[in-house]
Homo-oligomer: A and B are copies of this chain.
Amino acid sequence: AHQLFSHVPRPKPFRVTNADRSVKKGMMADGLLDLLNKVSESLSSDDIVVLVLEEDGTGVDSEEFFQTLPENTVLMFLEKGQKWTPCSTSPSRNLL
């Protein structure tokens, strides 16, 4: 039964943020391409270069890897020239 589902990806919820984390949106997508298209649409931008995991900047550029992401994974989209940076609002877990 599990295998059936892996061949028919259903739309899953993701949370998508921008490079400075000022905006975050919930979006449904059944695949990497689908999500990239939706992000581009919602930005009316064609400059999306890549999606990375918000938590550690891992580049998500293969459909297979994308399919392993759990629901509600936070992804960051990067436009040309933008880079992932660690979340600066809580760098100080160590300081507590």
Contact = CB atoms under 8 A, between A and B. Distances in A.
Interface residues of A, number: 31
A9 interface: no
A11 B92 CA distance: 35
Interface class of chain A by DSSP: mixed
B24 A62 contact: no
A81 interface: no
A60 B26 contact: yes
Given A64-B28, A65-B28, A68-B28, A59 B23 contact: yes
A26 B13 CA distance: 19
Interface of A: 11, 13, 15, 23-28, 53, 56-62, 64-66, 68, 71, 74, 85-86, 88, 90-93, 96
